[in-house]
Amino acid sequence: MKHSRSRDLMLQMDRLVQLIQDSLNEELAQVLFHYLLNGSEHVTVTFLQTLAQRLPQHEDNIMTLAERIEQKGIAKGIERGLAQGIEQGKLEGKLEGKLETACNMLNAGMDRQTVLQMTGLSNDQLNMLKH
């Protein structure tokens, strides 16, 4: 869906360029550029680069917005990566806890079938244990 909206925005490029060139003073152009940055998730760096080429008098401002979009994307990626890392750590911690519990259960003399049933570990995971 996001890509189709970005594509729709690119199709409106001519109208947008015409509006900015004919109707907007510098201040209103700035307001529009900031709206594009903050008000629409569908604006891409490619869109802004194309707009900057078509409006050379506004290139610096538009490219600054493009850099901010890239920075937002990088920050979002880092945030997502951290969340995935935390989740992966939790899963690994749970498995480690189950393996430790299984080892203790086996050392206490419990049969393998009961240990498998109680911990939810697979046979392969239980075979990896050195108890």
Number of domains into which the chain is organized: 1
* Residue 116: inside a domain: no
Average per-residue pLDDT for the chain: 83
Segments in the chain forming alpha helices (H): 2-11, 13-23, 26-39, 45-54, 59-107, 112-119, 123-127
What is the extent of the structural domain holding 39?
2-94
Query: Is 119 within a domain?
Result: no
The answer to whether position 106 is within a domain reads no
pTM: 0.48
- Three-state DSSP class for 79? helix
Residue 1 is predicted with a pLDDT of 41
Residue 2 has pLDDT above 60, yes or no: no
- Token pair in block for residue 37: 């940055």
pLDDT at 45 over 80: no
Residue 103 falls inside a structural domain: no
Q: State yes or no: pLDDT of 116 exceeds 90.
A: yes
